[in-house]
Amino acid sequence: MQPASIRANALGEHTAEYDTKNLDDSFIETPEYRSILETKDRCVVVGRRGTGKSAMFWKLNKFWSQQKSSHVIQIAPEDYQTIGFRGLFSSFQGKYSHIRAAARIIWKYSILMEMLNHLSKSYKTRNLIGERRAVSENLKRWGNDAAGMISHATVRIAPLLKKGETAEGLIGGLPQLLDLHQLEQDFEYLVHEAKINFYILIDRLDEGFENDEVGAAIVSGAVTAISDINKRYQTVRPVLFLRDNVNRSISRFDPDYTRNIEGEILRIHWDQFQLLNLVSRRLDKAFDLNIQNDQKVWDRCTADEGQGRELKGRDGFRKCLQFTLYRPRDLLSLLNQSFYQAGREDRATIILRDVEQTAKTISETRLEDLQKEYSAIFPSVAQATRCFANGSPELTSADALAKLDALSTTAQWRDDPQGQQDYLILKSEGLLRALYSVGFLGIHDPVSNTFAFCHDGRSPDKEFQPTDRVLIHPCYWISLNLTRNAFTADEAEQINDEYEIKVTSQTPEIRATRIGSIIADLGTISEGRDDSEDFELWVENAIQTVFAGHLDNVERKPNGANTQRRDVVALNLCRTPAFTRIHNDYKSRQVIFEVKNYRDIGRDEYRQMLSYLHDRYGDIGFIVTRDEDENLHAGKELDWVRELYTGHKKLVVRITAKFLQKLLGKLRSPEKHDVVDKAVNSLLDQYERRYLGIQSSGASKTSKQRSSK
Select from 341, 369, 397 the last residue of a domain: 369
Do 550 and 582 share a domain, yes or no?
A: yes
Please indicate, yes or no, if residue 536 is contained in any of the structural domains: yes
Distance CA(501)–CA(636), nearest Å, equals: 53
Do 362 and 238 share a domain, yes or no?
A: no
Do 516 and 661 share a domain, yes or no?
A: yes
pLDDT reported for residue 706:
35
Strand 236-243 and strand 469-472: pairing? Answer: unpaired
Q: Which of 554, 547, 562, 644 is nearest to 590 (CA)?
A: 554
Distance CA(344)–CA(5), nearest Å, equals: 8
pLDDT reported for residue 308:
83
pLDDT reported for residue 221:
95
Q: What angle do CA 657, 660, 664 make, to 5 degrees?
A: 135
Torsion over CA: 571, 577, 582, 585 (sign): positive
pLDDT reported for residue 458:
58
The predicted model gives 615-641 an average pLDDT of 92
For residue 505, pLDDT over 50 is answered with no
Residues 6+ apart with CB under 8 A from 332: 11, 12, 13, 14, 279, 282
Q: Look at residue 681 and give its three-state secondary structure.
A: helix
- Element (DSSP H or E) covering residue 554: strand 551-556
Select from 369, 393, 418 the last residue of a domain: 369
The domain total for the chain is 4
Q: 597 pLDDT band (50/70/90 cuts)?
A: very high
Do 291 and 389 share a domain, yes or no?
A: no
Residues 6+ apart with CB under 8 A from 206: 242, 243, 245, 246
Quick check: pTM over 0.85? no
Do 496 and 565 share a domain, yes or no?
A: no
pLDDT reported for residue 181:
96
Please indicate, yes or no, if residue 466 is contained in any of the structural domains: yes
Torsion of CA 525, 526, 531, 535, to 10 degrees: 50
Looking at this protein, which amino acid is placed at residue 584?
Answer: N
Give the model confidence (pLDDT) of 287-303 as tens digits.
889 998 999 999 999 99
Percentage of the chain beyond pLDDT 70 is: 87
pLDDT reported for residue 179:
96
Distance CA(474)–CA(482), nearest Å, equals: 10
Torsion over CA: 645, 591, 223, 46 (sign): negative
Do 473 and 610 share a domain, yes or no?
A: no
Kindly state the DSSP code that residue 109 receives in the 8-state scheme.
H
Q: 483 pLDDT band (50/70/90 cuts)?
A: confident
User: Which of 172-181, 404-413, 600-609 shows the lowest per-residue confidence on average (mean pLDDT)?
Assistant: 404-413
The predicted model gives 697-701 an average pLDDT of 42
User: Which of 411-415, 484-488, 700-704 shows the lowest per-residue confidence on average (mean pLDDT)?
Assistant: 700-704
Helix/strand/coil (H/E/C) assignment for every residue in 303-324: CCCCCCCCCCHHHHHHHHHCCC
Looking at this protein, which amino acid is placed at residue 45?
Answer: V
pLDDT reported for residue 582:
95
Contact 493, 486 (CB under 8 A): no
Contact 14, 329 (CB under 8 A): yes
For residue 307, pLDDT over 80 is answered with yes
Contact 570, 556 (CB under 8 A): no
Distance CA(479)–CA(370), nearest Å, equals: 12
pLDDT reported for residue 704:
40
Do 527 and 458 share a domain, yes or no?
A: no
pLDDT reported for residue 426:
82
Q: 372 pLDDT band (50/70/90 cuts)?
A: confident
pLDDT reported for residue 252:
78
For residue 241, pLDDT over 90 is answered with yes
Q: 496 pLDDT band (50/70/90 cuts)?
A: very low
pLDDT reported for residue 279:
93
For residue 349, pLDDT over 90 is answered with yes
For residue 453, pLDDT over 60 is answered with yes
- CB half-sphere exposure, 533, CA atoms < 13 A: 1
Q: Please, what is the angle between helix 697-708 and helix 636-648, to 10°? A: 120
pLDDT reported for residue 74:
96
pLDDT reported for residue 696:
43
Do 471 and 532 share a domain, yes or no?
A: no
The predicted model gives 588-608 an average pLDDT of 93
Q: Which of 507, 506, 427 is nearest to 464 (CA)?
A: 427
For residue 499, pLDDT over 50 is answered with no
Looking at this protein, which amino acid is placed at residue 568?
Answer: V
Neighbour tally for 586: CB within 10 Å: 19
Give the model confidence (pLDDT) of 58-69 as tens digits.
999 999 999 888
pLDDT reported for residue 416:
79
Give the model confidence (pLDDT) of 88-121 as tens digits.
998 888 899 999 999 999 999 999 999 999 999 9
Distance CA(345)–CA(259), nearest Å, equals: 55
Please indicate, yes or no, if residue 1 is contained in any of the structural domains: no
Please indicate, yes or no, if residue 709 is contained in any of the structural domains: no
Distance CA(90)–CA(592), nearest Å, equals: 52
| Phi and psi, residue 342, nearest 5° | -65, -40
Do 469 and 521 share a domain, yes or no?
A: no
Q: Is 506 exposed, middle or buried (0-12, 13-18, 19+ CB in 10 A)?
A: middle
Q: DSSP alpha helices (H): ranges in 351-488?
A: 352-374, 381-386, 397-405, 417-437
Q: Is 410 exposed, middle or buried (0-12, 13-18, 19+ CB in 10 A)?
A: exposed
Percentage of the chain beyond pLDDT 90 is: 48
Distance CA(572)–CA(593), nearest Å, equals: 12
User: Which structural domain, as residue segments, surrounds residue 190?
Assistant: 29-267
Q: Which residues are bridge partners to 241 per DSSP?
A: 45
Please indicate, yes or no, if residue 22 is contained in any of the structural domains: no
Which CATH number does the domain housing residue 663 bear?
A: 3.40.91
Please indicate, yes or no, if residue 14 is contained in any of the structural domains: no
Distance CA(136)–CA(63), nearest Å, equals: 31
Contact 480, 385 (CB under 8 A): yes
Contact 663, 650 (CB under 8 A): no
Residues 6+ apart with CB under 8 A from 82: 150, 205, 207, 208, 209
Contact 198, 70 (CB under 8 A): yes
Select from 335, 354, 369 the last residue of a domain: 369
**More confident site: 529 or 3:** 529
Do 263 and 294 share a domain, yes or no?
A: no
pLDDT reported for residue 559:
67
Q: How far, in Å, are 158, 322, 354, 358, 492 from residue 307 at the CA level? A: 68, 19, 17, 21, 11
**More confident site: 244 or 583:** 583
Neighbour tally for 175: CB within 10 Å: 16
For residue 248, pLDDT over 90 is answered with no
Do 487 and 396 share a domain, yes or no?
A: yes
Do 671 and 615 share a domain, yes or no?
A: yes
Please indicate, yes or no, if residue 5 is contained in any of the structural domains: no
Please indicate, yes or no, if residue 180 is contained in any of the structural domains: yes
